[in-house]
A = this chain, B = another copy of it.
């Protein structure tokens, strides 16, 4: 379980298989984001039809509402969401550091305010690990301290050191939970006993590399993470958070030879098509982003010829599908003219149909990249892809 097998490579790009308790994930893989335990506007059946293998849910959001105990009493996150394929939960670190409102960082953890009811909350590495354990996703993420893309070296160093210390605490707590040692919870409570007839939750914990836009911190951080344990995957956090894109690409390229070949590499929060291609070119395997659903709700659709804004008047009587190459329900059923009508008339179905297409688009893009890697000509494929995608910036 949690084994990753690289099946083919092409330059730095890879395709592989990650065995998880709820199924095997083929990489490169894009994860749709189900912030509140639902990928906005899409049902589990839609996600399966779109080919989603792995879905991300947000620990912070589910902790503040409905609360992980409610999710547990309703059978755990998989049953709660009606999703029987693999799940990954982030640790809440990114939300705590990026959402608006009060927050205070202590060495022990972070004090913050719930965006739902304004109540004071306290999240520690142990608590974040326990909450994720209760949620029961296949992959849990370590609690990290995220800094903005423009953070100076001292700030990024401080957050990196804290993230590394917290990683040890997350890993310790996760081992205890996996071993059935549920007593001694940091806040004095006890994890609810699982029914004896339930299979044990099988979950792995992945570390998150921080270090801002500072390559030397990233390199050092990676070395120290790898010294800390025998991980089943590694995540690159704190990228795509405001730094210029070339900086992200440079960091990815520089880290690639230092990343263990045998571990899946997860670039957090990245989901625009051009970034997926650039990152796979630099050896990344997994991605998540709200872009396909958020952009979809704004009327922006990914196509092989670049983004299309469906609200534009030019689509008014256009009988063509959104993306002639696409096999999704949206593209095989509806015209651009109808989709535009739905957006102009503020019909909820429009939000869903564009979200569905955009998710399917990124999953098909990942599938294409798998094939391009297997063909051995990934670099050539990527150049061709970019030539078409970036040809026109105004559609």
A5 contacts chain B at the CB level, 8 A cutoff: no
A314 contacts chain B at the CB level, 8 A cutoff: no
**CA A40 – CA B342 in complex, angstroms?**
10
Number of interface residues of A (CB under 8 A): 38
A42 contacts chain B at the CB level, 8 A cutoff: yes
A70 contacts chain B at the CB level, 8 A cutoff: yes
**CA A337 – CA B69 in complex, angstroms?**
12
The reply to whether B333 and A75 contact each other, CB–CB distance below 8 Å, is: no
The reply to whether A341 and B36 contact each other, CB–CB distance below 8 Å, is: yes
* Chain B residues whose C-beta falls within 8 Å of the C-beta of A317 in the assembled complex: 70, 73-74
**Of residues 1 to 60 in A, which have CB atoms within 8 Å of B's CB atoms?**
36-38, 40-45
* Chain B residues whose C-beta falls within 8 Å of the C-beta of A41 in the assembled complex: 348-349, 352
**CA A40 – CA B352 in complex, angstroms?**
11
The reply to whether B345 and A36 contact each other, CB–CB distance below 8 Å, is: yes
* Chain B residues whose C-beta falls within 8 Å of the C-beta of A66 in the assembled complex: 316, 337, 341, 344-345
* Chain B residues whose C-beta falls within 8 Å of the C-beta of A334 in the assembled complex: 82
**Of residues 342 to 359 in A, which have CB atoms within 8 Å of B's CB atoms?**
342, 344-345, 347-349, 351-353
**Of residues 296 to 352 in A, which have CB atoms within 8 Å of B's CB atoms?**
316-317, 319, 329, 333-335, 337-338, 341-342, 344-345, 347-349, 351-352
* Chain B residues whose C-beta falls within 8 Å of the C-beta of A337 in the assembled complex: 66, 70, 73-74, 80
Taking the nearest CB of chain B, how far is it from the CB of A25, in angstroms? Answer: 22
Known A74-B319, A82-B333: A40·B338 in contact at CB below 8 Å: no
**CA A335 – CA B351 in complex, angstroms?**
24
Choose one: B37, B65, B329, B342; the contact of A338 (CB below 8 Å).
B37
Taking the nearest CB of chain B, how far is it from the CB of A156, in angstroms? Answer: 34
Choose one: B335, B344, B349; the contact of A38 (CB below 8 Å).
B349
The reply to whether B338 and A80 contact each other, CB–CB distance below 8 Å, is: yes
* Chain B residues whose C-beta falls within 8 Å of the C-beta of A319 in the assembled complex: 73-75
* Chain B residues whose C-beta falls within 8 Å of the C-beta of A73 in the assembled complex: 317, 319, 337
**Of residues 265 to 284 in A, which have CB atoms within 8 Å of B's CB atoms?**
none
**CA A66 – CA B315 in complex, angstroms?**
12
Q: Which residue of B lies closest to A39 (CB)?
A: B349
A382 contacts chain B at the CB level, 8 A cutoff: no
**Of residues 138 to 156 in A, which have CB atoms within 8 Å of B's CB atoms?**
none
A81 contacts chain B at the CB level, 8 A cutoff: yes
The reply to whether B70 and A348 contact each other, CB–CB distance below 8 Å, is: no
Taking the nearest CB of chain B, how far is it from the CB of A78, in angstroms? Answer: 12
The reply to whether A348 and B351 contact each other, CB–CB distance below 8 Å, is: yes
**Of residues 65 to 102 in A, which have CB atoms within 8 Å of B's CB atoms?**
65-66, 70, 73-75, 79-82
Beyond known contacts A41-B352, A66-B344, A74-B337: 5 more, CB 8 A cutoff: A40-B348, A43-B329, A45-B333, A65-B345, A82-B338
